[in-house]
């Protein structure tokens, strides 16, 4: 078995150089086997890896993505409640108890009875006091029934009427002031209720937003946790694919090792002879080595 290669000279020279590879006789069957094996491998199509290459989503990741979708589309109960409270406050909804009228506001149902009773007491006191004294004084002076007596009685009755009127007006004014005070307290209570409702709504909205951030962080952590089994599964798939590739590469590695052993056994790939070659050309590396066919 020999390997032949032809190289041409330059500078108008027509000389030629022939290189011949001559493996030792004991390695020639091995070289032939090496060539046959290489030919078989080159003519054999490489099988394609048919296993799964990308890991499936873990159930935890799938659930986390659904939670994230629901969170983005619908929000959290805290955010919904905070938004409803804020909208209610902006639309004027307040604590209904803050606008409930005080049942004691307005005219006292017992006011008329109070006026009648107090006026009757003033009249009785007048009859027992001023009228009786006037009658007694007129009787002692012998002027009872006279014009002076009549004038005195008239003056006393006018005083009585004034006292009754003043008493009535005082009771009515007192009732009015009490009703006005209760109404004013109701207005203040309503204003405080509205302010309290606004404060509660804003506080609730802030708490809802804070809780919303906590929920979002929890979902992200949940998704991160779902990546752990998924990444582990991907590592197993990658290992299986690498193991398949290593198995497919074994024949080529074996052929390479076999060729290396043949080369070493052939004494650095056999001996070469260059009949007619110029030593200077060989030293300069101008000789050419071509790959031909073994014969």
Phi, psi of 165 (to 5 degrees): -65, -45
- pLDDT value for 135: 65
Confidence of residue 52 (pLDDT cuts 50, 70, 90): very high
| 154: pLDDT strictly greater than 50 | yes
The mean predicted confidence, pLDDT, of the chain is: 74
Closest CA to 123 of 162, 90, 152: 162
Tell me what percent of the residues of the chain surpass a pLDDT of 70.
66
- CB count, 10 Å around CB of 55? 16
Q: Are 290 and 3 in contact (CB under 8 A)?
A: no
d(CA 164, CA 120): 9
Name, in order, each residue with C-beta under 8 angstroms of 91's C-beta and a sequence gap of 6 or more. Answer: none
- The full set of domain ranges for the chain reads 3-54+251-284, 72-226
Confidence of residue 163 (pLDDT cuts 50, 70, 90): confident
Confidence of residue 102 (pLDDT cuts 50, 70, 90): low
d(CA 70, CA 87): 22
Q: How would you list the strands of the sheet with 271-273, edge to edge? A: 3-8, 16-22, 271-273
Q: What is the pTM of this model?
A: 0.46
Name, in order, each residue with C-beta under 8 angstroms of 111's C-beta and a sequence gap of 6 or more. Answer: 171, 172, 175
């Amino acid at each position: 078995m020999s390997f032949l290669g032809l190289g041409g000279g330059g500078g108008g020279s027509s000389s030629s150089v022939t290189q011949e590879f001559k493996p030792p006789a004991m390695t020639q069957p091995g070289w032939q086997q090496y060539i046959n094996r290489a030919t078989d491998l080159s003519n054999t199509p490489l099988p394609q890896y048919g296993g799964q290459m990308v890991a499936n989503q873990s159930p935890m990741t799938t659930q986390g993505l659904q939670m994230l979708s629901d969170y983005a589309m619908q929000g959290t109960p805290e955010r919904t409640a905070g938004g409803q409270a804020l909208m209610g406050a902006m639309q004027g909804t307040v604590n209904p108890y803050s606008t409930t009228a005080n049942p004691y506001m307005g005219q006292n149902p017992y006011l008329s009875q109070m006026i009648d009773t107090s006026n009757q007491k003033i009249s009785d006191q007048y009859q027992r006091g001023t009228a009786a004294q006037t009658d007694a004084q007129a009787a002692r002076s012998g002027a009872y029934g006279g014009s002076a007596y009549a004038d005195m009685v008239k003056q006393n009755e006018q005083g009585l009427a004034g006292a009754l009127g003043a008493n009535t007006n005082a009771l009515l004014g007192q009732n009015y002031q009490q009703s006005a005070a209760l109404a004013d307290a109701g207005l203040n209570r309503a204003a405080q209720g509205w302010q309290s409702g606004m404060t509660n709504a804003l506080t609730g909205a802030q708490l809802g937003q804070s809780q919303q951030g906590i929920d979002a962080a929890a979902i992200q952590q949940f998704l991160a946790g779902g990546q752990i089994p998924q990444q582990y599964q991907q590592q197993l798939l990658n290992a299986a694919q690498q193991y398949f590739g290593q198995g497919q590469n074994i024949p080529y590695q074996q052929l390479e090792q076999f060729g290396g052993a043949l080369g070493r056994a052939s004494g650095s790939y056999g001996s070469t002879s260059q009949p007619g070659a110029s030593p200077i050309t060989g030293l300069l590396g101008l000789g050419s080595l071509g790959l031909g066919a073994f014969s």
